[in-house]
Amino acid sequence: MLLRLYVSGQAPNSVAARQTLQTALREGVSGDVSVELIDVFEDPRQAASDGVLVTPTLLRIEPEPRLAIVGNLGDGQRLRRWLDLTPMDSTV
């Protein structure tokens, strides 16, 4: 699974989203998950091409279809459900 997290520097919501994602991944997810971290101010073109308007935004790039969560991910419950509900292909 390929995730892409868009953040804006050290903005509080961005910092919170990054921590929540890291915690969720540490707690264990079946299969390999790689995360690309992109700062919108450093790479606005990439943000534009992914249609990212607000930060933080977490995109699932692979497998298709693309999915997105916007916001600081709160307590991570929704994120965990989202990751778990994602059908995993262990061979990826």
Partner 1 sequence: MPTLRKRRTDISGLDEVTHGGLPLGRVTLLSGSAGAGKSVLALELLYRAAARGEKGIFVALEESPEQIRANGASFDWFDPESENVAFVHAELLETVTMDGDFDLNGLLAVVGAKTEELGSSWVVFDGLDVLLAHLSNESVGRREVARIRNWITERDQVGLLTAKSGAGSGAHSLPFLQFAVDGVIRLRHQLIDGSAFRTIQVSKYRGSNHATDEFPCVVTSHGLLISTRGQGELDHLQSDERVSIGLSELDELLEGGVHRASATLLSGIPGTAKTTLGGAFVDAACRRGESSLFVSFDESAPQIRRNLRSVGIDLQPHCDSGLLRMLSFRTRSANLERHIEEILGTLDRIEGRALVVDPISALEALGSRHAARDAATYLIDACKERGVTLLLTSLRNRPGGDPGPAAIGISSTADTWIHLEYLDTGGERNRTLTILKSRGTAHSNRTRELLLGKAGLELADIYTADGEVLLGTHRWEREQRLYRERAARQHALRQKHADAMRELRELRRQLQTMADQRDALEKRISSIQTSWEAQDEQDRSFEEMQEARREQQKSAD
Instruction: Report the interface residues with partner 1, using CB under 8 A.
Output: 6, 8-9, 11, 13-14, 16-17, 40-41, 44-45, 47-48, 51-57, 67-74, 78-79, 82
Q: Which residues pair with 35 in a beta bridge?
A: 3
Q: How far is the CB of 9 from partner 1 (least distance, A)?
A: 8
The answer to whether the peptide bond before residue 56 is cis (omega within 30 degrees of 0) is yes
Q: How far is the CB of 92 from partner 1 (least distance, A)?
A: 22
CA-wise closest residue to 59 among 20, 5, 23, 18 = 5
Of 33 and 70, nearer to partner 1 (C-beta) is: 70
The answer to whether the peptide bond before residue 12 is cis (omega within 30 degrees of 0) is no
Q: How far is the CB of 76 from partner 1 (least distance, A)?
A: 9
